[in-house]
A and B are shown apart, each in its own frame.
Chain A
Amino acid sequence: MDPGLLAQYLFNGLMLGTIYAIVAVGFSLFFGVLDVIKFSHGDVVTVGAFSAFGAAGLMAALATLSGPLALAVGLIAALGAGALSGVIIGRLLVLPLKNAPGVNVLLATLMAGTVLREAIRLGVPNGGNPKPFPALLPEGVLKAGSFSVGIDSVIILLAGLAVVLATHLVITRTRLGLSIRAVAQDEEVAQLAGVSFNRTVLGTFALGSMLAGLAGLMLGLYYREINFNMGVMLGIIGFACAVVGGLGSLIGPIIGGFLFAGVQTLVTVVLPFTSAYKDVVAFAVIIALIGLFPTGLIAEKSSERV
């Protein structure tokens, strides 16, 4: 195969892996701290994308904005809307169901995800159709032989990797991270040491959902198109990555994200005629891995569960 084309595939795989990892980390954080699956997580990605879309569009209508400023507005909107929806879902649906079976939370958040999705479809003008996402990043193409990549894509990838690293630092180095890990490991011991359970849970939901909002912005910037149901598949993929990597761990879902994207890319490269089946193959691999490693690739015992 042409090395340039191969590099192209590789780049795309890395990008997808980063986005999957960012979404999967959220699932893992929520599970770690509260042992719940928040199934509205994928739709929070959509909320982030549409908030950035709306905010950047609105600002552009009011005043001519320079690229970086419009980007900043979009970024703040995506992070803010993500965090806000996470906190609201946590406060209204998850904390009140704390002593109920986990399935109830799963169901309640699944419904909440549908509410978010439908609200976007019905609330946004012509919301049922794909929306062109504005190009907020610098234009231009980097070329090396037959490999060419947009500067915007490079920025998105580097920013995504930086966010994964930053999340790790937040969890391991900050007071919030220390509280999150303490509550995840023994919520009573954490509270006896003065850690507020509710605040920590809501902080976790804000952090994880902020990441989802960011993933929405990244997808919009990368594909230049957003869609009211873009979060559905991404939510399922993110959840699968978290489970196969080790739900509750931090590094597990990151590995899971890159693994999933790696399989998708490999299928496309090695068996180009089956590339339409790349998700089928990737999910089949996930199912096989879950069978082989029921507690995730990063077993809880040896990993640093958040």
Chain B
Amino acid sequence: MSRTEAPRPEASRRLSVSGVTTGYDRADVLHDVSIEAKPGRITCILGANGAGKSTLIRSILGLTPVRRGSVAFGGDTITNLATHRIAALGIATVPEGNRVLPRMTVLENLKVGGLLEKDRHRLAARMERMFETFPRLKERRNQLAGTLSGGERSMLSIARGLMTDPELIVFDEPSLGLSPLFVSEVFRIVRQLKEEGYTILLVEQNVRQTLDVADDGYVLAQGRVVASGTSAALAADGELHKAYFGVH
């Protein structure tokens, strides 16, 4: 295949969340949360429903206002920056529920992901690469995204994120609502993306498979970071499992 786009440079920017407190109305949902996603690695955030995982992601992406603390990506402070500007800095998101634009075709969904890119040739090459990576999407490129199966939607959601040519990809509970077969497929893709040089921030409830694929991890409970470390260390911590994930 002809590549007009140079191979991706290695990810070099670090995402740092420092002492972030966020809330809705009067109640704080996150309390003084600090996490880091190091370049070229998979960092996971684990926690039960209501632990504040989604709020943390929304705070990073500018969808929920941060009350205190700061978020930085490389040299840029992105605290409370408009969401589309954060995306333009190289942060792609695969939103919870693998949301797609339902009344647009697969191709149009990918084009929306490519709106930031002004160069036609690079855009075409990137689109071609998506179809190579996800042949299923190529077959269905003229189909409305709302008619795709759950697994296909998740592929499309990931591909739309990649179309923005990001350095960091945020996955918000990608396994939610998918069949076990597709869950394994999503984790395989996450691993592959890391090998291609992307930095990954993976938010999940699926503890075993997530720790398996991740390098570093944080555990959230009631809006606070209650444990952090390499995923190997987190996986080996029996007390942690008993306290937060239920006994295996």
Contact = CB atoms under 8 A, between A and B. Distances in A.
B10 to A, nearest CB: 22
A179 B103 CA distance: 13
Contacts of A133: none
Contacts of B115: 175, 178-179, 182, 193-195
Interface in B115-165: 115-116, 160-161, 163-164
B83 A186 contact: no
Interface residues of B, number: 26
A181 B109 CA distance: 10
A193 B87 contact: yes
Contact of B87 (A181, A192, A198, A304): A192
A82 to B, nearest CB: 26
B104 interface: yes
A20 interface: no
B240 interface: no
Contacts of B111: 178
Contacts of A196: 82, 84
B101 A186 contact: yes
Contacts of A190: 101, 112
A295 interface: no
A13 B243 CA distance: 74
B103 A195 contact: no
Interface of B: 61, 63, 82-84, 87-88, 92-93, 95, 99-104, 108, 111-113, 115-116, 160-161, 163-164
A232 B83 CA distance: 38
Nearest to B157: A189
A175 B120 CA distance: 12
Contact of B95 (A178, A181, A189, A197): A189
Given A185-B103, A185-B104, A189-B95, A178 B112 contact: yes
11 contacts: A178-B108, A181-B103, A181-B104, A185-B102, A185-B103, A186-B99, A186-B101, A189-B99, A191-B83, A194-B115, A197-B83
A186 B83 CA distance: 14
A182 B111 CA distance: 10
